[in-house]
A and B are shown apart, each in its own frame.
Chain A
Amino acid sequence: MDLSLTDEQEFLREAARGALARVDTVAAARAAIEPAGSPEHAPLPDLWPTVVEAGWPGLLTSEDGGGAGLGLYDAILVAQEAGAVLAPVPLVSVLPAATILDAAGDADSAAAAGGELRVAWVPAAPPTDLDDRWTVEARSGVRRGGLPTGVLDGDQVTLDGEVAWVPDAPNADRLLVIADVAGTPTAVLVEAGAAGLTVEDVTRYDATRPLGHVRLAAAVGRRVDADADAIGRAWHIAQALLAGEAVGIVERLLPIAVAYAKERHTFGRAIGSYQAVKHHLVEVLRLQENAKSLLIYAAWASEHAPEQLALAAAAARSGAGHALDYATRETISVHGGIGATWEHDAPLYFRRAQLSRRLLGGDHGAADRVAGELLAGVTPA
């Protein structure tokens, strides 16, 4: 039994921390949500060259497919570092796309892994124990949308449909759409400028997470030869990466909240000595450690027990999302009123939390999948 980080993983984490420290990404997150035209506003810095230089787009791509051939835990470590500093790094978009291209042995796999092509995955959730459809994000409401439809002609697929709230869609060179082609989920690579494809930039609330509504009206793309397992795996990987980002934020915020609780005094003593404050901070620690355990489970399942990956990744997402919500709110509470103002960074993390928890099926959808997998008889290791 050995779940400790390897030397290579420690090195990867340090390298990620170093690469992301070149820009003050938290300040950039703040400047990007200042009103356009105000002196405080600055557009988000483009970190894509950093991402490419670090080799992150190819982390999960096999060496044959042009990547580094690392495991999910390695990618999660990078996601934790990116989350901790609110870095606008599209891991939840490019890594799932890269794994599908790699599984397909696609001609564009190496370019995606090397970052020459920025490929945004258009998320599609595999069926659940109750719903045998593949589904996509809808603009609003609790009913999820069906996959865009595709008509195959040779290698070309003509696509119709809509997927809302797609991470990194406004910045991508290609979109990897999952379409229903004669009843089979099929991956289709579409050029950003293709006729019939529109990407409406709907970046909201947290500028560090660019989002787009993707509309397809007879847009033509190229079929990618990935099977349903590979397409479903991309969804679970994205869930685990979102969970990794969330844990990174929680680990960043807890020491900040603890330090303030030691330094701020009321009624003649540090507020951290009051049980009412202390117990909430310990709850953040408890949720953080649980979420870290679930990240390990997701990474372990991806390597050793693929039949448990859906359960593990959904549990990680659900646990980390809860930890993130609790930690961001608690950080604000501990700081009192000031924590809810732009004098502090806490609101930036709060915005990230609120938005992230609603993406890719939402934390709510992840909890539902945990239940569904357990009800279907999956037994966790």
Chain B
Amino acid sequence: MDLNDDPEQAAYRAQVRAWLADHAAQAPKVRGADAIADEDERIEAWRGWQAELAKGGLCGVTWPQEFGGAGKGPIEQVIVNQELAHAGVPGPLDFIGLGMMGPAIIVHGSDEQKRRHLGPMLHADEVFCQLFSEPAAGSDLAGITTRAVRQDDGSFRISGQKVWTTNAQFAAFGVLLARTDADVPKHKGLTMFIVPMDAEGVTIRGLRQISGEAEFNEVFLDEVQVGADAVLGEVGGGWATALTVLMFERLSIGTSPIGYSAEKFAAVIADAPGAREDSDVRQRLGAIGTELIASRFAGHRLLSDLAGGGLPGPEFGLGKVTVVSAAVSAGDLIADVVGPEALDDASEWAYMISFLPGLKSAGGTEEILRNTIGERVLGLPPEPRLDKGVPFSELKAREIEGVA
């Protein structure tokens, strides 16, 4: 039972740490109270920092070397993430591109797409965003209605609305899932595209959340024209490409550090007059602490599996349920103990309390996650489905009939 690196990992960690020690002074402040205030300036500085990280080999850690990556495994990605946190510097600006879109292009992209996109992505010259979810299709992602219609010249015209799009406001490209055939069952008529965000017909609007900040965007597409060479993977094969992206998303989340910690919450309670002696407060903190410590060691177990050559299975998603629900309870406890002061705009707790209700659904709602794990891990039968084998157009007609 060993939480330490093996010799090879230790050597890699030392190399990463040494590089960061030499370059940390160049890192911009992008989060917290002393972050660069102006958004454009902040993004430009962060872009430069990613370029620097890329030069040091700390971007695309798991990408093959032929595409400019380091050709390492997920465990080395974890080491890089840990060392970035240890050095107190931000990671790359484009975690979505590096973690999900780049790997998906490497798997499904044409040679030309790889040549065109991977280099600029690695160095943050061109940031990527993910255009999957829609206002009426999130958990049931294959139910999207954004359509891409093929023109006589082979190009496509795309119209529809996407939502929850992180980084859209400064992204150069989006990887977009659209329906190219509504007359086949819904998983079959989908195609993935690489869409320039500055194309005519693309409108981006910030989506403000409970905290008042806009961390996501809505993206509207109105007859946006892209060439046949914008298709990522096969026409009609978009679902397979989407599953690849979601697999990389799981890995990307699995190797990222968890931001909420038992000891940090405990420190707030310890400072609040009378809280430490209150048995109800202690029981609540004990339960929260138990869950968060469990999730920390679940992370260690995952790393041990990765080191042994495994990949995170769907059950890893339970870790997110644990962390989010424990953090929700912690926010509640802190607000109870600290009082309305905890809800001041300047308080990090107000931010956390506002952020968590949305986080609960991020990357898939808790209910969908429990369905998936119940079916894929426990082997329980799925709910009967009314959409199997039914052409998408007919499903939509039934919906309209049901509402009318």
Q: Which residues of B contact A71 (CB under 8 A)?
A: 1
Check A285/B378 contact, CB under 8 A, given A4-B304, A367-B290. yes
| CA gap between A293 and B3 in the complex, in Å | 13
Tell whether, in the assembled complex, residue B371 and residue A286 are in contact, meaning their CB atoms are under 8 Å apart: no
Q: Which residues of A contact B282 (CB under 8 A)?
A: 367-368, 371-372, 375
| CA gap between A286 and B286 in the complex, in Å | 18
| CA gap between A278 and B382 in the complex, in Å | 9
| CA gap between A78 and B144 in the complex, in Å | 51
Confirm or deny: A274 has a beta carbon within 8 angstroms of a beta carbon on chain B: yes
Using a CB-CB cutoff of 8 Å, which residues 243-276 of chain A contact chain B? 254, 258, 261-262, 269-270, 272-275
Closest to B383 in A: A273
Tell whether, in the assembled complex, residue A73 and residue B1 are in contact, meaning their CB atoms are under 8 Å apart: yes
Tell whether, in the assembled complex, residue A275 and residue B383 are in contact, meaning their CB atoms are under 8 Å apart: yes
Using a CB-CB cutoff of 8 Å, which residues 268-285 of chain B contact chain A? 269-270, 276-277, 279, 281-283, 285
Q: Which residues of B contact A368 (CB under 8 A)?
A: 279, 282-283, 286
Tell whether, in the assembled complex, residue A294 and residue B290 are in contact, meaning their CB atoms are under 8 Å apart: yes
| CA gap between A301 and B49 in the complex, in Å | 38
Q: Which residues of A contact B283 (CB under 8 A)?
A: 364, 367-368, 371
Tell whether, in the assembled complex, residue B266 and residue A371 are in contact, meaning their CB atoms are under 8 Å apart: yes
| CA gap between A374 and B282 in the complex, in Å | 10
Tell whether, in the assembled complex, residue A371 and residue B381 are in contact, meaning their CB atoms are under 8 Å apart: no
| CA gap between A1 and B297 in the complex, in Å | 12
Tell whether, in the assembled complex, residue A282 and residue B374 are in contact, meaning their CB atoms are under 8 Å apart: yes
Tell whether, in the assembled complex, residue B373 and residue A367 are in contact, meaning their CB atoms are under 8 Å apart: no
Q: Which residues of B contact A372 (CB under 8 A)?
A: 282
| CA gap between A369 and B307 in the complex, in Å | 33
Interface size on B, residues (CB 8 A): 57
How many whole Å from A295's CB to the nearest CB in chain B?
9
Tell whether, in the assembled complex, residue B291 and residue A281 are in contact, meaning their CB atoms are under 8 Å apart: no
Confirm or deny: A379 has a beta carbon within 8 angstroms of a beta carbon on chain B: yes
| CA gap between A329 and B289 in the complex, in Å | 24
Closest to B286 in A: A367
Closest to A3 in B: B304
Tell whether, in the assembled complex, residue A130 and residue B286 are in contact, meaning their CB atoms are under 8 Å apart: no
| B1, B3, B276 — most chain A CB neighbours (10 Å) | B1
Q: Which residues of A contact B286 (CB under 8 A)?
A: 314, 318, 366-371
Confirm or deny: A291 has a beta carbon within 8 angstroms of a beta carbon on chain B: yes
Tell whether, in the assembled complex, residue A282 and residue B382 are in contact, meaning their CB atoms are under 8 Å apart: no
Stretch of B38-46, B135-143, B250-258, B315-323 with 4 or more beta carbons under 8 angstroms from chain A = B315-323
| CA gap between A269 and B385 in the complex, in Å | 12
Q: Which residues of A contact B378 (CB under 8 A)?
A: 254, 258, 272, 278, 281-282, 285
| CA gap between A283 and B380 in the complex, in Å | 14
| CA gap between A367 and B291 in the complex, in Å | 11
Q: Which residues of B contact A369 (CB under 8 A)?
A: 286
Confirm or deny: A348 has a beta carbon within 8 angstroms of a beta carbon on chain B: no
Tell whether, in the assembled complex, residue B318 and residue A285 are in contact, meaning their CB atoms are under 8 Å apart: yes
Check A273/B381 contact, CB under 8 A, given A285-B315, A285-B318, A371-B283. yes
Confirm or deny: B5 has a beta carbon within 8 angstroms of a beta carbon on chain A: yes
| CA gap between A273 and B294 in the complex, in Å | 29
How many whole Å from A10's CB to the nearest CB in chain B?
14
| CA gap between A275 and B265 in the complex, in Å | 33
| CA gap between A336 and B107 in the complex, in Å | 48
Q: 0/1 per residue, A343-381, Cβ < 8 Å to B? A: 000000000000000000000101111111011011111
| CA gap between A3 and B301 in the complex, in Å | 6
How many whole Å from A167's CB to the nearest CB in chain B?
23
Tell whether, in the assembled complex, residue A269 and residue B381 are in contact, meaning their CB atoms are under 8 Å apart: yes
Tell whether, in the assembled complex, residue A290 and residue B263 are in contact, meaning their CB atoms are under 8 Å apart: no
Could you list some 11 contacts between A and B, CB below 8 A?
A282-B370, A285-B315, A285-B378, A297-B294, A311-B293, A318-B286, A318-B287, A322-B290, A374-B263, A377-B267, A381-B3
- Please list the residues of chain A having a beta carbon within 8 angstroms of any beta carbon in chain B: 1-4, 71, 73, 129-130, 254, 258, 261-262, 269-270, 272-275, 278-279, 281-283, 285-286, 289-294, 296-297, 299-300, 303-304, 311-312, 314-315, 318-319, 322, 364, 366-372, 374-375, 377-381
Further contacts, 7 of them, CB under 8 A, given A294-B293, A368-B279: A3-B3, A4-B304, A281-B380, A283-B370, A318-B287, A366-B286, A375-B269
The 9 closest A-B pairs by CB, nearest first: A367-B286, A290-B294, A374-B266, A293-B297, A278-B374, A272-B380, A3-B304, A371-B282, A370-B286
